[in-house]
Structure 1
């Protein structure tokens, strides 16, 4: 299959001034993951001890003496007991951010097994680590960075375990940058810019963590020497440098540092770079030029063409466009790249080509996020139900869409593909001990809710799933749940939907609440919810017996036997007992067997001859009876 590559390029002409613009953004966090105290490093950067994490455990690299930076010696890892998904969540102003992660293994756990895991930023998967890591990366660690927008007041950096491997992180930096940086108005906020190479030409590593050279965005610049294709037959290769000021640096919106333009490389036969990339993505390449050779003093003396994967995409004459000792940056986008190597060549037209720096960013489409109201609802449920850490309820409930983000939660996209919504919640047998928050009513797309076999309390919100809920499984232990179920059924009569419920109460008498209802089942459908008036389609089971054994009953021509068992003493529900629905009472006690279904006559009275002994199944529901 062939792919078309479309190229877009732009010139950024400088404002000719030697004054640096004041930097108006002051939100920045540098977190020493696993570290316990604040400090200032040798490059005068302020770091804070580990904070803003959802779970995990502090750790120490196996050989801390090999790391010169304090923030590289400690780490945080997330064992599976902390859940599959864990996050750092930072409260920040809405805007655009530079996010940088240091990842290190160094056999901190003595297992000699580098872990497999994914990393997401703002709900989009950006980094994937798979075991085994390259030996040097496992031992020395690696920095990864990107630019992303934040629109909900929280910067979410999340980690997802593959199999049962514990994700790890050594340090985290989140720095606010200009919202117009890197041509965001043209590219749009629907992309994250993931760094696939940020090179400074003719110098060593510069910027954060490498040198005292300042960069207002906190960017680190890597030497180009490992990416440059060397032509051994060209003895004209030279490194140029200057101490003169370069105009149009440290300016809005990109604040490119002056030191980037004070070195350059040049060669008479041309220059070539090979950048390793992932296929089928779009890439934004950003070139940096400055004419720092005093010999070139007029237009036309240094002219060269730029080729990307053997295609000529533009012609550069630095002096003609900005003069000497002035910064020129130029960028273009490669669409639908079909190869895993991005080749960049500067081919001479007049004089030798020259370059100061090169950046390459993958344009990663932002994944869908959960509808904001449903995020509020799910976080409220997390608190009210006291969901344990092991379930990984951290960050966005549904994003990234490729993850099983929150255990027990199923999501799907809205019809217009603009966001994700919660459709199912299955929290059966999770040992929950809280209550159902009223915010659950914000889950307007919820069709199935399972809260069985938990020790919950309180009432059910009246509007629960009134528009969409099809299946509902729940156990409670307060008497008030009976009233809430009645309200729920009444509310759902207008929706032509189905509702299930299972309950647990703890008492021996009606007079001493809470009432005991053991393994009960409530079912309804359409306008004839719960106990039907004019149909045999309604069912409700509840303990209504005293001590006794099962007996044969008539079930529509089929004769079945109730399980023979000693039943605990239960109260008789009669005319003075609780009314499950107006006009529905039972004056004739009948044998009761848990997990079975009572069938009612049109008259609405309980009769022993009318109950079915077929066990209820979550999979099968009650459809056999309909």
Structure 2
């Protein structure tokens, strides 16, 4: 089953096999055509009927581009445009969602020689402050697709492209799909898709609306196996909602007396894995026929015993705890029991690698405050003001210092916006930075009053408001008391 190792490179290429479908509910879908202009543009992609919108409302930076015209017929429409990031080390998309919700997040990258340089880019992709995956483009006309199943720790999700060398990061499309929180449960971390296959000789990829969650399934049959299929509907109403076309086909060994074997190799030998196997009996068994098998892996380790797939109904078998292999290799054996008269079968397989998130995100209340400060003063021009405010430390926002308490989210302790062309009054959102010790708003064009809320910021010890000629320098009484007690200095 080594073909699984090439899975990501094949998904989007030659999708002419996909047929037009009738629209279904896309509630909760976020489908971004990156670089689509103008930013209020929407369209329906003809092979999936997915509605795509511009990414312009989710990011403040980047340059729009378009792949070479000669390549467009090979790809779906959402990959014709792209957004590249020649400036800044980290550029991030921001989504206001709901914490603790589970999403499938998919980034698609088609270089298409958009810049005329014929120079294949490589860069990193991050979720918040944590590296998700490297992205390496292997050919001008190749696609790279990366998926992760991720539970939000905050209401704000940030997907970032990070420059790691001389080439320019870019992205073609970014898609978010809500999932049932009772599925793909892990002890820790998120799940990076390694492979998702169904067992059919028909060379057709499946995605929405065959799959209501818009997961992409790749067909697979090898030379030592054969396939079964049925025209009868299969009950797929368990939490995983396997597509009907996947449920209605299955793989069995070519020699019915032999075991069924599946094998793959992970590129990271230290990786922890979760494996989801989907089964349904799709043959009409006679009274004297039985299908029952044991599942073992890597030399006899027990996975499941005496398993009989239910008739025309999907059951999903998975490991509740992550598994690993010392050399990254997995070999699963499906062997008939002594009671069985029929060979083992399998309808669908999903393989994921665990990605842990050791770096905590900045406190959400403080992030919200900083996003409001950014909007109030029009600071989108600050290229570093993207992604997590404090983490990782190497990408901390310009003018911001943070504390990093053990096992707790980072906190903002100083904010320096000197000479940042600030106008208007001093925003009350600054008061939400409850751990702030130093604030520098000097040499701007701030007007209005010095706010009294500064007196209530108990950790604040230094405020610099000098160089703001329009500012009324009258000091509120409560703030004057802090100054006189020498707990705070006002410049």
| Cα deviation 1:247-301 (Å, max 9, x = unaligned) | 331x142211121122222222431321424344432110112233446866864
Asked if the contact 1:454/1:476 (under 8 Å) is kept, the reply is yes
| Cα deviation 1:156-194 (Å, max 9, x = unaligned) | 333333367542111122222323222x4xx36x63222
Distance in 1, Cα, partners of 2:176 & 2:246: 22
* TM-aligned CA distance change 1:439 to 1:134, over 3 Å: closer
1:264 is aligned to 250
| Cα deviation 1:73-132 (Å, max 9, x = unaligned) | 11111231xx44433334446633222221122221123333443333455432323xxx
* TM-aligned CA distance change 1:118 to 1:353, over 3 Å: same
Return 5+ residue gaps in structure 2 as ranges. Answer: 1-23
* TM-aligned CA distance change 1:484 to 1:306, over 3 Å: farther
Distance in 1, Cα, partners of 2:114 & 2:398: 28
* TM-aligned CA distance change 1:484 to 1:280, over 3 Å: farther
Distance in 1, Cα, partners of 2:214 & 2:432: 40
Q: CA deviation at 1:207?
A: 1.8
Distance in 1, Cα, partners of 2:204 & 2:404: 44
| Cα deviation 1:407-434 (Å, max 9, x = unaligned) | 332333445x242321232334444445
Distance in 1, Cα, partners of 2:482 & 2:323: 52
* TM-aligned CA distance change 1:434 to 1:290, over 3 Å: same
The structure with higher relative contact order (CA 8 Å, sep 6+) is: 2
Q: 2:182 aligns with which of 166, 180, 185?
A: 180
Distance in 1, Cα, partners of 2:77 & 2:194: 26
Distance in 2, Cα, partners of 1:324 & 1:240: 17
Asked if the contact 2:444/2:468 (under 8 Å) is kept, the reply is no
Q: CA deviation at 1:215?
A: 0.4
| Cα deviation 1:457-494 (Å, max 9, x = unaligned) | 44443343842234554533236454349964632555
Asked if the contact 1:213/1:259 (under 8 Å) is kept, the reply is no
Q: 1:387 aligns with which of 379, 393, 399?
A: 379
Deviates more, 1:143-152 or 1:285-294: 143-152
Asked if the contact 1:30/1:174 (under 8 Å) is kept, the reply is yes
Return 5+ residue gaps in structure 1 as ranges. Answer: 1-22, 231-236, 502-626
Q: Does 1:108 align with 2:108?
A: no
Q: CA deviation at 1:220?
A: 0.4
**How many residues of Structure 1 are paired with residues of Structure 2 in the alignment?**
450
1:522-601 equivalence runs, <5 A: none
Q: Does 1:469 align with 2:468?
A: no
* TM-aligned CA distance change 1:213 to 1:440, over 3 Å: closer
1:49 is aligned to 53
User: 3-state DSSP class of the match of 1:147?
Assistant: strand
Q: Does 1:332 align with 2:283?
A: no
1:252-291 equivalence runs, <5 A: 252-267=238-253, 268-291=258-281
2:282 is aligned to 292
Q: 1:195 aligns with which of 193, 196, 209?
A: 193
Q: Does 1:410 align with 2:406?
A: no
* TM-aligned CA distance change 1:328 to 1:388, over 3 Å: closer
TM-score by length of 2: 0.79
* TM-aligned CA distance change 1:142 to 1:423, over 3 Å: same
Asked if the contact 2:120/2:138 (under 8 Å) is kept, the reply is no
Q: CA deviation at 1:214?
A: 0.4
Asked if the contact 2:294/2:307 (under 8 Å) is kept, the reply is no
Asked if the contact 2:63/2:83 (under 8 Å) is kept, the reply is yes
RMSD: 3.4
Distance in 2, Cα, partners of 1:77 & 1:139: 17
Asked if the contact 1:289/1:318 (under 8 Å) is kept, the reply is no
Asked if the contact 1:385/1:436 (under 8 Å) is kept, the reply is no
TM-score by length of 1: 0.63
* TM-aligned CA distance change 1:117 to 1:431, over 3 Å: farther
Q: 2:229 aligns with which of 235, 242, 262?
A: 242
* TM-aligned CA distance change 1:355 to 1:432, over 3 Å: same
2:348 is aligned to 357
